Structure 1
Amino acid sequence: MGRLVPAVTRALDILELFLDGDGTLSAPDIVRRLQLPRTTVHELVTTLAARSYIVPVPGQPGRYRLGVRPYQLGSRYAEQLDLAAEGQQVARSVADTCDETVHVAILEGTDVIYIAKVDSTHAVRMVSAVGRRLPAHCTSVGKMLLASLPEPELAARIPDDAELVAMTPDSITDPAVLHEALAGVRSRGIALETRESNPDVSCVAAPVRDRTGQVVAALSISVPMIRWSDERRAELERLVVKGAVELSERLGHRGAE
């Protein structure tokens, strides 16, 4: 690996300062926060402005904000992201940690479609496949995705008179009960499903967000009931949230919602 170029490092340090606060900075702000010489900061700011990485703030002389160039680079980066590929990598990492089956799924209508999966190495594990479609209300990933919808959209997809299919005796089939359960998912930020899609399996799920903060997928960990307990559930909830946050960051998301 070659040596780092100090001028480039300093320029990037300046750009990253704009990620905090109100997104505007003056040259004295940069001098103070980075402890750089004023002349150096002036030259770097002038160069970044000339290349449209930063621009003057209208009506605020001496202050700058990010320009169009970082947006263009970020948009190109986002275009190259592949949710399924990124999800598979994160699912692998999570599965390596917990040795349980990990899924990433998206919502289509009132169903979920699994786009990534990594199996447990245990002899007893969940049988599923990438591309499989299941009723969203019967799964933890589906509950997470439904709970993330705006209320009008949720009501349109699952009206009060909707007929919800049962996959097991424990599946929710009453829309009112489902809406109550989804309210709990929203408040906790985690979805739980116990024997609702498979009589021998329980799952936990957390939301995956894109760079705009919108929930675009959910990541889940599925566990056979023979390995399920309150202690294991709590452990997996922490792990599924960590995995979902990592995948969100790979998709360009910053910060908590």
Structure 2
Amino acid sequence: MARTVPAVNRALDILELFLAEGALTASDITARLGLPRTTVHELVNTLLDRGYLVAEPSAPIRYQLGMRLFELGGLFADRLDLARQAQQAATEVAAACDESVHVAILDGAEVVYIAKVDSTHSVRMVSAVGRRLPAHCTAVGKMLLSALAPEALDACYPHDRPLRSMTPNSITTPAGLRTQLAEIRQAGVAYDDCESNEAVACVAVGVFDHTGRMVAAMSVSVPTVRWTDQRREQWTGLVRTGAAALSHRLGHHAGPAPFATTGGATAQGSLSQHSTRGS
């Protein structure tokens, strides 16, 4: 096993204390890490000199994370490729259930599919990246809409304007949409009960980035001929796990990564042997 440098480990331990606290004094750091006072002062002074910590203007003995960390974090975030990461995460979920898996983002009142993996069943969804659908008619769309602030939702769906219908099951009233979004917000999962296609049912869960913001949603889309209550529960659990894994790749650390993986893009909707759409 390669050797590590104790002083570097201690410096990183200090920085990681700030993940839980906004500001700390040298005494706070000493107490939390159990390090000698002199060692802490030397390490803090080094981090201050390099811009990884800064002193609070109103309280010079209290320290906060510095701009250098922001620069490094920004560079890391810029290098993350959501579509590429989403494609690999979708591949893992599809391998576990052999159904079509999609990842989509919100663009106004529409969803845009950025990643997909098709099922190998003869009756399946065959999708293409870049497809757009009305958000309120899809599981991924409703999941994403549930995270919007009220004013943003009002801008997309004014209270006095009927909603476009894609099937007899589509939500067609702003009030009905808001009621369902409240339920989705509470449950953390959204369903499409043949709302964008009469032959397809879907389940979706949100995907979060390093700031905790919902940036995408992942769904499993299944022809109704294979959709049962028992399988619905299994697919719900699986898409929760897959969405959590993708969130972890994007820097969201609410818990451990459910899949050990690394992560192209695609999504539209039409069942082979049946012209269908959904998600």
TM category (shorter chain) comes to 0.7 to 0.9
Q: Residue 111 of structure 1 corresponds to which residue in structure 2?
A: 110
Which residues of structure 1 form unaligned runs of 5+?
none
- How do residues 90-239 of structure 1 correspond to structure 2 at under 5 angstroms? 90-239=89-238
Is the alpha carbon distance of 1:151 and 1:8 closer, same or farther for their aligned partners in structure 2, counting shifts above 3 Å?
Answer: same
Q: Secondary structure at the match of 2:197?
A: coil
Distance 1:23 1:46 in 2: 18
Larger relative contact order (Cα-Cα within 8 Å, sequence gap ≥ 6): 2
Is the alpha carbon distance of 1:137 and 1:29 closer, same or farther for their aligned partners in structure 2, counting shifts above 3 Å?
Answer: same
**How far does the alpha carbon of each residue in 1:158-181 deviate from its partner, in whole angstroms, 9 at most, with x for none?**
223434333222222233322222
Distance 1:51 1:61 in 2: 17
TM-score, normalised relative to structure 1:
0.88
Alpha-carbon deviation of 1:61?
A: 5.0
Which residues of structure 2 form unaligned runs of 5+?
256-279
Q: Quick check: 135-144 or 26-35, which moved more?
A: 26-35
Distance 2:132 2:148 in 1: 19
Alpha-carbon deviation of 1:18?
A: 0.8
Alpha-carbon deviation of 1:95?
A: 2.1
Across the aligned residues of Structure 1 and Structure 2, the Cα RMSD in angstroms comes to: 2.3
Distance 1:96 1:50 in 2: 50
Alpha-carbon deviation of 1:19?
A: 0.2
Is the alpha carbon distance of 1:225 and 1:75 closer, same or farther for their aligned partners in structure 2, counting shifts above 3 Å?
Answer: same
**Matched AA of 2:91:** R
Distance 1:210 1:19 in 2: 16
- Identity between Structure 1 and Structure 2 (%): 60
Distance 2:103 2:117 in 1: 9
TM-score, normalised relative to structure 2:
0.82
Q: Residue 245 of structure 2 corresponds to which residue in structure 1?
A: 246
Q: Secondary structure at the match of 1:62?
A: strand
Alpha-carbon deviation of 1:83?
A: 1.5
Distance 1:130 1:188 in 2: 28
Distance 2:239 2:148 in 1: 20
Q: Quick check: 66-75 or 87-96, which moved more?
A: 87-96
Distance 2:231 2:24 in 1: 47
Q: How many residues align?
A: 255
